[in-house]
Amino acid sequence: MTALTIELLCSEAKIFSEEECKHTEPTLFGVTDGKAVGTYLEHKFSDFLVAKGYQFVPGNSASGIDFPSLKVDMKVTSIRQPQSSCPFKSARQKVYGLGYSLIVFVYDKTDDSINRTSTLTIKSTIFVESEYTADFQMTKGLLDILKNEGNRDDLISFMADKNLPVDEIEMGNLADEIIKNPPNQGYLTISNALQWRLQYTRVIEKAGTVTGVNSVHKEA
């Protein structure tokens, strides 16, 4: 048994993505539910890793992520609407990131009506490092304020305008922290909801061109 590392996870994700593009799957024919496709691919990738002899702690509802020992969550999303939901822990996630990395599989699904099978073409697979999983506009705005000699009040005003879901005391504490410890530029779009809504268009566009957003696989 080989202990799974992030480097191995990414190299195996590349192989898996290339192989999946050649596979035809009857159980997905006619399926339009993105969650069902996501569950299929998550289980298949996990089984793929186990079959190769990798040792890792599987995800569960307590950890909330797919590879808790690596602090990595797997996301599966359609190229037609590249987004998914994510548990809301605190508003700080929008400023400082989710607290874990993401490996994102972006697929395009096509059905073969003659053979009644489906093919998932993995258009791209992207690894987003934990430190860069914050909201793009939120972090860009905060960093611009700091760069332009903005103060605590400017930061609070900006976060309030962006409807960051925190009370006044916590917003003040967050502003103090931002001054002492400026965030990294994030690359996700994180929409407020009972669960965060993560959107991946920017990471698809930026993969391989910016720090922290790594292209694992891209369809030729």
Is 25 within 8 Å of 19 (Cβ atoms)? no
Beta bridge partners of 197: 85, 191
If you average pLDDT over residues 53-79, what whole number do you get?
88
**Alpha-carbon span 93 to 190, nearest angstrom:** 9
Q: What is the residue type of 46? A: S
Q: What pLDDT was estimated at residue 62? A: 63
Q: What pLDDT was estimated at residue 57? A: 87
Q: What pLDDT was estimated at residue 219? A: 82
Say whether 20 sits in a helix, a strand or coil.
helix
If you average pLDDT over residues 24-46, what whole number do you get?
91
Question: Domains along the chain?
Answer: 2-82+99-132+194-218 (3.40.210.20), 136-180 (no CATH)
User: In this structure, how many other beta carbons lie within 10 angstroms of the beta carbon of residue 202?
Assistant: 17
